[in-house]
Structure 1
Amino acid sequence: MNPKLKEILKPLAHVINTPLPLVEAPPLLRVRNALAFEFPYALNVIDFALADLVGRATVRLRPLLLVGDPGAGKSRFARRLGEILGVSVWREDASRSDGAVFGGTDRRWYSVEPCHPFLAIARGKIGNPLVLIDELEKAGTRSDYGRLWDCLLGFLEVETSARYPDPALQTTLDVSQVSYVATANSIEPLPSPIRDRFRVVMFPKPSADDLDALLPAVLDDLARERGLDAAWVPPLDGVERAAIGQSWRGGSMRRLRRMVEAVLRERDQRAARN
């Protein structure tokens, strides 16, 4: 056996020929409320995504493509959707991936690796993780190692993903319970077979009118990143809120987060001086 394959298979032993649990669908109203708190400007997207789970016992979304301007929060929404649903999230950068990487490499190669949906299952130790494919439209178009777009087709249909022939393991895998959520700034570069297999929804940009609804969630998220209880991060006072309101007129959530981070740093610096 290829030494590299033996090295790769060792940490996967716990999921090979082993029944894995499927995460049950949580109460959808609770999920909706949690997402609405963080993304109050994207209620239509939330409802569109969660409608797929109505009546389902376990979490499995049909392929979902979020299309919108950079900075609107598409990737974060996809990640939080998975986290709030209670499934593990595997992130794939489409611009750095191709068919041979995502779909697995043949065991004859030293760089042998199973398909990434199976690796997502192994890492999460569940049968229904969520695979987030970022910036799908930026996937490479060279066909030397197979385009990511073409490779994805075999994973997006239940019929084929339930019998995926993994080139590294040289056996058939059932990865049919994996959910795929992709993001794109535009659908124009995407070939029609990919567009046909994804449910496409436009992801809006927040406006200045959303600022007061967004700030609590941004503060909560920053507190979480700092390892703090959100209760230890007071809301912005009137001066802080006015300063951000003058500079942020909607659009990029990344920019809003940076501005709130700057306010929190200024608070910390003032506290250190006192």
Structure 2
Amino acid sequence: MTHQPLQTLTENRVGFITLNRPDRLNALTEEMLLLGIETLKGFATDPSIGAIVITGAGRAFCAGGDVAVMETGAEFGPAGTPVEAQIEILRTWHEFPRLLHSIPKPTIAVINGVAVGGGLGIALSCDLRIASDKAKFGTAYAKVGYDGDFGTTWQMTRLLGEAKAKELFFLPDIISAEEALRIGMVNRLYPHGQLIAESTKIAERIGAGPSISYRYMKENVAHASTVGFAESLDREAETHIRCSQTEDHIEGVNAFLEKREPVFKGV
């Protein structure tokens, strides 16, 4: 199945998505993105999956748009495609990062190599980013006369602040994994040879956790970035009480009192 531009696997309550164009540094294609959208929608409603991991095959996470396709003028449809139609094509592709950001399950980018342009946007749209010490990051848009897509503008502004986001857009230098960790672009960094094992441990730990609680945590954090303190408190009151009605809450309390590990079921 190495010819498939996107590969999937489910194991130990984790859904894995691998961008699979290693010869092109996993540069994005329409087929890859549409398969990714379909896969994420399926993972979102599958009760056997508690966490989702996205990574890249080979030595890259994702190089974003394929410059070879850009050269042909057919990146967003065949030559001659009207501008409005091209806009709608890109909006369709943007469903991929939107789902990574919004589906009710934790999403984890395991960044094994270069993540630039749209690839950076995909990584930033995940809830967590775990990187190899060999990973490299960059916006790259200014180098080809673009401005930004795949959520890079929104995500970098919120993660890094306006000043740093502008710097990384205006001066599209490649930054190291260590610098990405320092500025808060990634959550954790591991030696390259340990990346898969360590990130899988984290994904499986989250996958086995209280999925209803994680859903509300994810929603509440996103909500908190757009509303005031009072509104956030109001929402916490609602979701906290909803969590208190779950079997997972009861199991967590009992496990704590019995000094054992809880066995959550997502109900």
TM-score, with length taken from structure 1:
0.27
Structure number, greater radius of gyration: 1
Higher strand share: 2
User: With structure 2 as the length reference, what TM-score do the two structures score?
Assistant: 0.27
